[in-house]
Structures are given as C-alpha cells and as structure tokens.
Structure 1
Amino acid sequence: MTGPGVLAGLSVVTLAPNLPGPLAAAALRDDGARVVKVEPPGGDPLKALSARWYADLHRVVEVRTLDLKTDAGQSELRALLAGADLLLTSSRPSALARLGLSPAALDADFPHLCRVRIVGDTRDPETPGHDLTYQAAAGLMDPVSPAMPRTLLADVLGGREAYAAALALLLGRERGSAERERVVGLGDAARFASAPLRYGLTAPGGLLSGAQATYRLYRTADGWVAAAPLEAHFVGRWTATLGPDAERTLAGHPTAHWVDVAAREDLPLVAVTETEGPWGD
C-alpha cells in the first residue's frame, strides 16, 4: 500500500486472539484502518505459538491489555467502542453475553458500530473446536490414512471471510444499510473449501484428483513436479514435448531440467518444493 488506504479514518477494535481474528485485523490495517487490539492479561496464545507471525500480524497495531472481567476494563473497552467503526470478536456467544457484548446490547449502546463475530461453526457456535477438527469434519482429510494438514485452512480462510464481512458491513453502512453484524464460522469455511471434493472434482477418479494425466504429480529423477496442462492448447504442447509416456519421460531427468523445459515451452508445470520463509521462532 503506497497511499493512505481505502479505510483511512476508520477505527477497528478487535478482541479476537489466535489466528483468524489477527489475520482479518491485519488485512484491515493494510487497507489503512487504525486497529486497536485488546488482549487479556495472559496475552494472545498466538504469540507463544509463533512469535514472528504474531509480530508481523500486529505491526502498527496498538495492543492494549485489559481485564474485561473488571469494571475498569469494561469501562475502557466501552470508551474504545464509542469511537470505533468496527468490532471484531472470536468468542462464543455465551462468553460475549457475559461481557455485555451480546448483539442486543451492542445494538442499543453502539448503533453506529459494525461487528464481525468469528465463531467455531454457525451450526453450533457454542461447541469448541480448532482448525484440525473443522478440516476433519468437512472431509478434508483421508479417513483411511489421515495425515496432519500442511496449512491451517479453516483459520486462514476464516480470517479472509471475516475481512470480507467487515468490508461489506462498512460499505453497507456508508450506503445507508441498517445491517451491523455478520457471523463467520470456521467450520463453515472448511465446508466451503471442501466444495471441489463434494462436487467430485477432487474425489477419487475426479478430473482434478490426480487420476488424469493432465492434472497430477509426477516423479522426476530427483523429486516431484506438479503438472496441470488441462486446456487443449496445453495438452497438445504437453504431448509434443513429452511424448506418449509422460511418466517415463519425466522420470528420466531431474526436476530442474523439467522446470526449464516448462518455461521454454510455456507449460503449467512447477517443482514440488518446501515452503519459503521462516520455520519456527
């Protein structure tokens, strides 16, 4: 972002720890909003899990430590909300109600305030869970030989959904909409991400399941490549380059060779590599 940002002049208060809330708040910050993060005396668990990611997500975010179970903490929070445009939370409804932050209370006390509530699952927002349980329940793991997911898909997608909900509420308010609250479920996000599986694209035998020669992983002489020459013009170029037995041809040379060939022949093929960036803290 080189200018002041489309949300410059707007203020966000977030009570949401862990990952989806900070992801959404960081996106709003990057669009120019002022973000104040309220953390309990024990802090945000994300800081202990990944200090570097926590630091990146909270860059230019004002972090305040408040005990919302005390009158002083409640008073300071209410002062923040009085001047805020958006409240972001990720607690269960019953916990928010105990803090005086139920939808009815917020409507009455802060009618101007937009709210995005992140919950575990909109089907049953009081049931506890985390990314792993939401992915498993949505069918995103092989039930026969499950492996731990390589990303926190429900959390990351849920954070983007919360960001989108915030933008919709703020834009709607500017256009005269009376809507002030949207609820984002992490279980809902996992089910949304499972649509390609439910509709058969990535299910066993599906077009994008690895069963087709034009969308699968191939072993090379020293590793693996991912190839996706789906469209007809790519298929023709793929066959002309690799011949009738692509699997055997690819196995005959190292990955770097095939990456160079793909660049030269304009083919959708890349090396299967480890992620770039820091590991651990």
Structure 2
Amino acid sequence: MTAPLAGVRIIEVGVMLAGPYATMMLADLGAEVIKVEPPGGEISRQVSDSYFASLNRGKRSICLDLAAADGRAKLAELVVDSHALLVNMKPSVIRRLGLTYESLRQVNPQIVCVAMTGFGLDGGDDPAFDYVIQAATGVAAMTGDPDGPPTLPGYSSADNSTGLTAALGLLAMIVAGRGGQVDVSLRDVMLSQLNYRAAAYLNDGTEPRRYPFGAHSYYVPAQLFPTADGYLALFVTHDGFWRSFANEAKVDGFATMAERAARRDEVLSVVTAALATDTALGWEARLKPLGIPAAAVRTLPEALAQTPQAVVTAGAFRLVGSPIRITGYAPDYRPAPALDERSAAQSSS
C-alpha cells in the first residue's frame, strides 16, 4: 500500500534527540524529511555513527548556514514546497533564524511550524536537557527507593516523549489543512505525563511518595519482587488477577483490593516469601498462561533477543524499527543520510 504520509514533505532543523526522533517517526511512515545541518554537520554526528543512525534513518541531508542570508534564502526555497518545518533549539535562536510561522508565512501560508523548546517559545532560554527537565518537573523526585536519592531512568524519556508529542501536533495541523505555529515544550510534556499524579495533588492534596521496588501507590501487589533468581514485575490491578495469583502461589486471604491496600506491608511480605520459591523466569512461565500481568526483569540485550521482529536493518546499521504497525504497509528503512547528501545528489543530476 502507499505509505500513509507519502507526499508529505517536512524540513527538520533538529539537534541531538527530540527533534530528530520526531521526524524519524514521520519518515518511517513515508514522509519526505529534509534534515538541515550546519556546515560540519549536526552535533549528534560526533556522538557515534550508531547514535546518529538511530535517530535519522530515512532522511535527506542538506548543509545550510542559517546564520547567513544565503542560507536562510535557500531554506525559504525549501519552505515554498513543504508542508511543515520542525525545529528544536532555544527560543531566541528559533526567532533569530526566522524559523517561526510568523516569519515563514509570507513564503508559504500553509506551512506548519513546530517549535520544540525546554519551556515554550515564550518561556525563555534556560538550558533544558532531558535530565534537567525530569528534575524540574518532579519526575526524579518521585522515582527511586524511598530511602535513596532521587533517580533518573536509564534513557531519555523527556526527549523521546516530546518528540512523539511534537509529531502529533504537526500531524494535527496537516489534517486540519492549515498553516500555523505549534509550540511544544519538554516541561509541558513531562507534566502532562504525570496526569493522575498531578490530579491527585491538585484535587485531593495527595503528594506523590516513593515506595520500595517502584511499587504502585494504590494497587497491591504491583511492583518488582526479588525471586530465587532475578526480579519479577507483578502487577495485580483487580481481584480476579489476585485470585489467580493466590491460587498458583498458595497464598491465602486479602481477597479485595481495598483490603490489600490497607494491609500493604502484610501482603508484600507474604508475596515476597512466595516468589522466593522460584526464579523470575519460572514465575513468568507460570503466571502468563493464567493471564496475570508478570514479566521477568530483562536486560536490553535479553529483551532484544526475545523480540527479533523489533529489529530492522537500515543501511549498515541494525536498529529498533517503528513501533507503529499498519496493516498492509511496511516501512522502507533507508539509511541515515551522509552529510549534505541531498545537495550532492542534485549537483550530479
């Protein structure tokens, strides 16, 4: 079938992760993505070849010095025939380079301009890297052991989440059929993802608290548990799951969620003792057929080995493919572009 975004042309002035991830997701769906890079290349090329490939497959590259009038003029030529421009930089830089709808509407009134920043286009230029945002929005404070320090996850959750949100905003405007400015900030995205935690505080005054092993604030048992070998994630969200688990684990009592929540420490003690009688993989094999949400804690290499269908090849690199599966459509996983590849191709044609 024809790619869902075939015929959609997007200009990316992106750096590092958030912006490039947003446009790569769209390229996987068939959009033509032109990556505008400064002379010398976008900075993530310096991290590693695999890093750059993981965020830029399927794009074209063109080198433009947007600080110079000639570079901005060439960008304007691209804008004329494009549907969207996505940029992630400081607000002052975005405005100085003329990468807003206000600046580009004269060139193309239908252009969708997406600005990804730390705190919004009107939020100032404070540095806003992923971990800084997680600290600033309360995410780090609610993560980790209650007796330990605040904790950050092992991947860039704010950048990735903001990339997906920006892609959603871009597509919403294209579907609407009109040009305009889309303003997406890392701060707002992470606060939005704290939905029920924020609602509990705003409406009930309930502040988030940490529990050992990442336990859920209400559901019991719903956390990581040590086993005879490895750790198991067990997530019992209703009494039916509990009955099935209790029968398999030979645990008595605590029939209702209300009782389990009220007697949390007792429940966790009993469950911990029961799970110590088998390995994490053993419990996973026993509980999954019963429909109980449970999984052994795996390393990334173990998870990838168990999910070979998630791995694709783009040029010389093996990467995790698009998470969006559309019946009848298979993405064309082309390699990440060489620097200024688009200009070189045009010169030789």
Say whether the fold is shared (TM-score over 0.5). yes
> Alpha-carbon deviation of 1:240?
1.1
User: Quick one: structure 1 residues 202 and 270, their matched pair in 2 at CA, closer, same or farther if it must change by over 3 Å?
Assistant: farther
- Residues 215-242 of structure 1: per-residue CA shift (max 9 Å, x gap): 1211101111000121221111111111
In structure 2, the CA distance between the partners of 1:222 and 1:201, relative to structure 1 (3 Å rule), is farther
Partner of 1:162: 166
Letter of the structure 1 residue corresponding to residue 137 of structure 2: A
| 1:99 counterpart residue number | 97
Per the alignment, residue 6 of structure 2 pairs with 8
Matches within 5 A, 1:70-81: 70-81=68-79
Structure 1 stretch displaced more, 39-48 or 215-224: 39-48
Q: In the superposition, relative to structure 1, how do residues 196 and 208 fare at CA in structure 2: closer, same or farther (>3 Å)?
A: farther
CA contact (8 A) 1:197 1:203 kept: no
Letter in 2 for 1:182: V
Q: CA deviation at 1:157?
A: 0.5
Corresponding position of 1:23: 21
Query: CA 1:232–1:99 in structure 2 vs 1: closer, same or farther (change >3 Å)?
Result: same
Q: Could you say which residue in structure 1 is the equivalent of 2:140? A: 141
Q: Is the contact made by 1:138 and 1:194 (CA closer than 8 Å) also made in structure 2?
A: no
Worse overlay, 96-105 or 150-159: 96-105
Deviation by residue 1:118-158 (Cα, 9 ceiling, x = unmatched): 01112614222100110001111137612332121110100
CA distance, structure 2, for counterparts of residue 162 and residue 114 of structure 1: 11
1:202 is displaced (CA, Å) by 6.1
What secondary structure is seen at the aligned counterpart in 1 of 2:236? coil
When structure 1 is superposed on structure 2, of 66-75 and 162-171 the one drifting more is 66-75
Offset from partner CA, 1:68-126 (integer Å, 9 cap, x none): 12233222211111111100011223212222334322122321211111011126142
Contact (CA 8 Å) 1:82, 1:110: kept in 2 or not? yes
The aligned residue for residue 218 of structure 1 is 225
* Structure 1 residue ranges (4+ consecutive) displaced by more than 6 angstroms after TM superposition: none
Tell me the equivalent position of 2:190. Answer: 190
2:50 is matched by which residue type in structure 1? Answer: R
- Contact 1:66–1:73 (CA<8 Å) still a contact in 2? yes
Separation in structure 1 between the aligned mates of residue 207 and residue 136 of structure 2, nearest angstrom: 19
How many pairs align?
Answer: 273
What are structure 2's unaligned runs of at least 5 residues?
143-147, 201-205, 253-269, 305-317, 320-349
Instruction: Rate the CA distance shift 1:275–1:262 in 2: closer, same or farther, 3 A.
Output: same
Contact 2:34 2:60 in 1 (8 A): yes
Q: Which amino acid aligns with 1:142?
A: A
Q: Partner amino acid for 1:130?
A: F
Q: Does 1 or 2 have the higher relative contact order (CA < 8 Å, sep 6+)?
A: 2
Paired residue for 1:262, among 279, 287, 290? 287
How much has 1:171 moved relative to structure 2? Answer: 0.4
Secondary structure, counterpart of 2:233 in structure 1 = strand
TM-superposed CA distance for 1:6, in Å, is: 1.8
Is the 8 Å Cα contact of residues 229 and 267 (structure 1) preserved in structure 2?
A: yes
Distance (Å, rounded) in 1 between the aligned partners of 2:298 and 2:217: 18
Measured after TM superposition, the shift of residue 208 of structure 1 is 5.7
Cα root mean square deviation, aligned? 2.5
TM-score (norm 2): 0.72
Aligned partner of 2:313 in structure 1 is none
Identity between Structure 1 and Structure 2 (%)? 26
| Residue 63 of structure 1: aligned partner | 61
Gaps of 5+ in 1: none
1:100–1:201 CA distance, 2 compared to 1 (3 A): closer
Distance (whole Å) between structure 1 residues aligned to residue 291 and residue 92 of structure 2: 55
CA distance in 2, matches of 1:131, 1:231: 35
Within the candidate set 300, 322, 325, 1:275 is matched to 300
What letter corresponds to residue 215 of structure 1 in structure 2? A
Contact 1:41 1:65 survives alignment (8 Å): yes
Aligned partner (choices 114, 121, 124) of residue 112 of structure 2: 114
Indicate if the aligned counterparts of 1:35 and 1:61 stay in contact, CA closer than 8 A: yes
